[in-house]
Amino acid sequence: MSKGFAMPPRTLLAVTDFSPRGNNALSRAALLSAQHGATLKLVYLAYPGEAPLADAATRLAHHALQLSQRHGIRACAVSRLAFTVEDLLPEVRRADLVVWGTAPVRGLRSFFMGKPVERFLRAARRPVLVVRREAKHDYRSLIVAVDFTQASRALVDVSFALNKSAQVELFHAVSTANEGKLRYAEVSDHAIKAYRNACRRYAQDRMFWLTDSYDSRRNRVLSAVGHGDAARQTVVQQENSGAELIVVGRHPSTRLSDLFFESTANRILGLSSTDVLVVPHDYEPASVASAVERLSSDSPAVRRVRAGAPEPPALPNPAAVFARAPELDQAGPGETARRQSTLLSFGWSAAAMGR
């Protein structure tokens, strides 16, 4: 995961199709914008295979004005309507966080072409908050799916940055894939049970390693270890704990790899009915933020000038130096040539002095 992960977000992009989920996404994006003092942009995405609504631009502008007045935030509508996921990418590159809210897409088209949200996750390379539920308040409890890699620590940082006062629960599911291989090899049940207990102890030790750096927040950092499929067990744990948001990482993938080896993030999106924040491991910083950082590092020194006073020249004005000399016209040919040579060194000529 990139070290340049920009959290808390400074620029949000809310994607909506005006469905109930789309409206929930707008409300959630407005709450996040007010919470972090971020700028909010609204963009409309048409339903796959259909043209945008005739009044989509007007409705989007109305939503932006309404959210600005209600939450006291800076919100604006993107004038260009999006027909496809690819049309969103220019705006996505300027955002730190994307808030996604569209109606579910089912049928043969979604099977062969892929669901819009899955295609978007592959292309965006931004953290994407997929909103399902109505946004009534800031997130108060989160569950973070971890695998004990360095990216897991970054996921915990993201969770705290999203809401510093939220309760965070770290969850890891011990895979049963190796147990199946042991049974196939006719290993005894006693040995399999011993292997399972060893895996659980290892997971608990690694969980302690992960939470150890958050001593000051330990009263709000919980941990749990499950057993079984990671995606399914994460959803079960979220339902049991009542967490309002699931945070999960995502490796880079292609349409083909997603078709045959569905990622844990995609499976959680398919199984869960709550909000899910998907953080890609190949995250790229927003282009605007990168440009501002680059310009600030390369900016020249600023010269302050007294109000009302003319700006001093960058170099001495040779015309002022030589043209006022009373002896200029009486100078001999050698002296005149020397002075003209001096003028040329400043980029001036005799013609510049009106001679």
User: Per residue in 124-160, pLDDT tens?
Assistant: 889 999 999 999 999 999 999 998 888 888 888 888 8
pLDDT digits (tens, 9 = 90+) for 20-38: 999 999 999 999 999 999 9
% of the chain beyond a pLDDT of 90? 43
Q: Which helix (H) or strand (E) holds 295?
A: helix 287-298
The predicted pLDDT at position 320 comes to 43
Residue with structure tokens 């001495």?
316
The predicted pLDDT at position 178 comes to 81
Its pTM stands at 0.76
Domain covering 139-273 in this structure, CATH number = 3.40.50.620
Range 125-164 burial, b when 16+ CB lie within 10 A, else e: bbbbbbbbeebeeebebbbbbbbbeebbbbbbebbbebbe
The predicted pLDDT at position 127 comes to 93
pLDDT digits (tens, 9 = 90+) for 39-96: 999 999 998 878 888 899 999 999 999 999 999 999 999 989 999 999 999 999 999 9
The predicted pLDDT at position 278 comes to 96
Q: Is the pLDDT of residue 252 over 80?
A: no
The predicted pLDDT at position 40 comes to 98
pLDDT digits (tens, 9 = 90+) for 223-243: 999 999 999 999 999 999 999
Domain map (residue ranges) of the chain: 6-137, 139-273, 315-343
Q: Which helix (H) or strand (E) holds 218?
A: none
Q: Is the pLDDT of residue 342 over 70?
A: no
Q: Which helix (H) or strand (E) holds 306?
A: none
Most confident of 94-103, 205-214, 250-259, 307-316: 94-103
Which is more confidently placed, 180 or 229? 229
Same topology between domain 6-137 and domain 139-273: yes
Q: Are the CB atoms for 46 and 18 separated by under 8 Å?
A: no
pLDDT digits (tens, 9 = 90+) for 264-314: 999 999 999 999 999 998 777 775 445 444 444 444 444 444 444 444 444
Strand ordering across the sheet containing 75-77: 75-77, 39-44, 11-16, 97-101, 128-130, 275-280, 245-250, 141-145, 167-174, 221-227
Q: At 101, is the pLDDT very low, low, confident or very high (cuts 50, 70, 90)?
A: very high
Q: Are the CB atoms for 256 and 114 separated by under 8 Å?
A: no
Candidate CATH numbers 3.30.160.110, 3.40.50.980, 3.40.50.620, 3.30.830.10; the one for domain 6-137: 3.40.50.620
Q: Read off the amino acid at residue 354.
A: G
Average pLDDT, the chain: 79
